[in-house]
Amino acid sequence: MWDPSVYRRFGAERSRPFFDLVARIGAERPRAVVDLGCGPGELTLSLAGRWPGARLTGIDSSPEMIEKASAHGGPADFRTGDVRDWHPEPDVDVLVTNATLQWVPEHRDLLVRWTRELPPGAWLAMQVPGNFGAPSHVLLREVGKRYGVSDVLREAPVGDAADYAALLDGAEVDAWETTYLHLLPVDGPEHPVLRWMEGTALRPVKVTLDDNAWQSFRADLARELTGAYPATGGYVAFPFRRVFVVARTASS
Ligand SMILES: C[S@@+](CC[C@H](N)C(=O)[O-])C[C@H]1O[C@@H](n2cnc3c(N)ncnc32)[C@H](O)[C@@H]1O
């Protein structure tokens, strides 16, 4: 289960890659724009500012996220759905999927299918975190082993920019990687990297463990994170690599 309020912690840091991604989409007057894995909807709605004439849709498998997104009352149609079942309508000229496909093991097949199904000259833009080898995730897997939750923690669910470029070789591809240095303020007793991870990577652990085990897991991981990401000057420096792909389907 996704908790939109926990996910929204560090909203500015989480939004920046979305804006960096959509800045590389060259569409001028798309007929329809779809955001797959739209989450709580604020970023989806920002697309209405860029393309006011487009029919805008946000799709997410989490009813909690769709409830939040729909509550904005903005000019988008938000609905629950699984990206794996989604097929583009013939007028979808822009498909955006930000920070979602790392949760979908078969996403490489989906990317190939979507580029085949989108109309000629359409844009597909995706971003996934590429930080699964970072100390945060290595430590998460180490602590996870001690608690018997390894099977819900993924080693390397995403490729790098070159893998995706090779996969979409029929399209015009712009693929790149960026490592953001997030300076997370230490503004309470909890380690900020732990608070960050609670919004995303720790969710599967939380739902697997009972409450006592979850509290103990959190404390153990916090101790490890304090060693890996020490606080200096009231901040913790948290490097975060992300992988971006913008592909344009061939014109007919
Ligand atoms: C990290 S959030 C990203 C939300 C939003 N795109 C953003 O950039 O803030 C990942 C989202 O993907 C959704 N998601 C995960 N697997 C999905 C699937 N198979 N189909 C649809 N949505 C999915 C989750 O419910 C969650 O809202």
Q: Which residue matches tokens 């991981």?
A: 221
| Distance (Å) from CA 68 to ligand 1 centroid | 13
Cα distance between the two ends of the chain = 42
Mean pLDDT of 70-89: 96
Split into its structural domains, the chain has a count of 1
pLDDT at 2: 67
If one residue of 42, 100, 207 were mutated to test the ligand 1 pocket, choosing by the most ligand atoms within 8 A of its CB, it would be 100
Q: Could you tell me the CATH number of the domain that includes residue 226?
A: 3.40.50.150
Q: Over the stretch 166-206, which tens digit does the pLDDT of each residue have?
A: 999 889 999 999 999 999 999 888 999 999 999 888 999 99
Mean pLDDT of 112-128: 97
Q: 250: closest CA among 174, 169, 165, 162? A: 169
pLDDT at 104: 96
Predicted model pTM: 0.93
Confidence band, pLDDT 50/70/90 cuts, at residue 213: very high
| Distance (Å) from CA 165 to ligand 1 centroid | 22
Structural domain that includes position 243: 4-248
Mean pLDDT of 147-169: 91
Closest ligand 1 atom to residue 97 Cα is 6
Which residue's alpha carbon is nearest to atom 17 within ligand 1?
Answer: 61
For residues 67 and 49, give the distance between their C-alpha atoms in angstroms, rounded to a whole number.
22
User: What DSSP letter does each residue of 170-233 carry, written as one string?
Assistant: TSEEEEEEEEEEEEEE--SSS-HHHHHHHTTTTHHHHHHS-HHHHHHHHHHHHHHHHHHS-EET
Which residue's alpha carbon is nearest to atom 9 within ligand 1?
Answer: 39
Confidence band, pLDDT 50/70/90 cuts, at residue 7: low
Which residue's alpha carbon is nearest to atom 8 within ligand 1?
Answer: 98
Mean pLDDT of 213-239: 95
User: Measured over all CA atoms, what is the biggest interatomic distance in the chain, rounded to whole angstroms?
Assistant: 59
Query: Which tokens hold the place of 182?
Result: 């997030």
Structural contact between residues 252 and 220, judged by C-beta atoms closer than 8 angstroms: no
For residues 43 and 18, give the distance between their C-alpha atoms in angstroms, rounded to a whole number.
8
Could you tell me if the CB of 54 is within 6 A of ligand 1? no
The mean pLDDT of the chain is 94
| Distance (Å) from CA 243 to ligand 1 centroid | 16
> Percentage of the chain surpassing pLDDT 70?
98
